[in-house]
Amino acid sequence: YMGVARLAEIQAGLLAGGMAEDTPLAMIENATLGNQRECRSNLGELLRDAGRFALKSPAILVIGEVTRDIVSQPISLSA
């Protein structure tokens, strides 16, 4: 449900829709958990880097310039 199994389809659709290959993105596995892992990449290298990173579900894919600000920052869960 988070797209890991459909990365090739997601990448192809975004590129076909006109998104640039150098669009930054972040893959975040096990977000908010003690074993959270993060990998930065770009749309053109998504499949290669996801393979090198051995990305597994549950993981989210965050796409765009916002990833420059949110990745590797402490996650605050305040009420």
The average pLDDT across 28-32 equals 92
Report pLDDT for 3.
85
Q: What is the pTM of this model?
A: 0.81
Delimit the domains of the chain by residue range: 4-69
- Tell me what the mean pLDDT of segment 29-48 comes to: 94
The 3-state secondary structure of 3-57 reads CHHHHHHHHHHHHHCCCCCCCEEEEEECCCCCCCEEEEEEHHHHHHHHHHHCCCC
Of residues 43 and 72, more confidence is placed in 43
Q: Classify domain 4-69 at the CATH class level.
A: alpha beta
* pLDDT range class, residue 27, cuts 50, 70, 90: very high
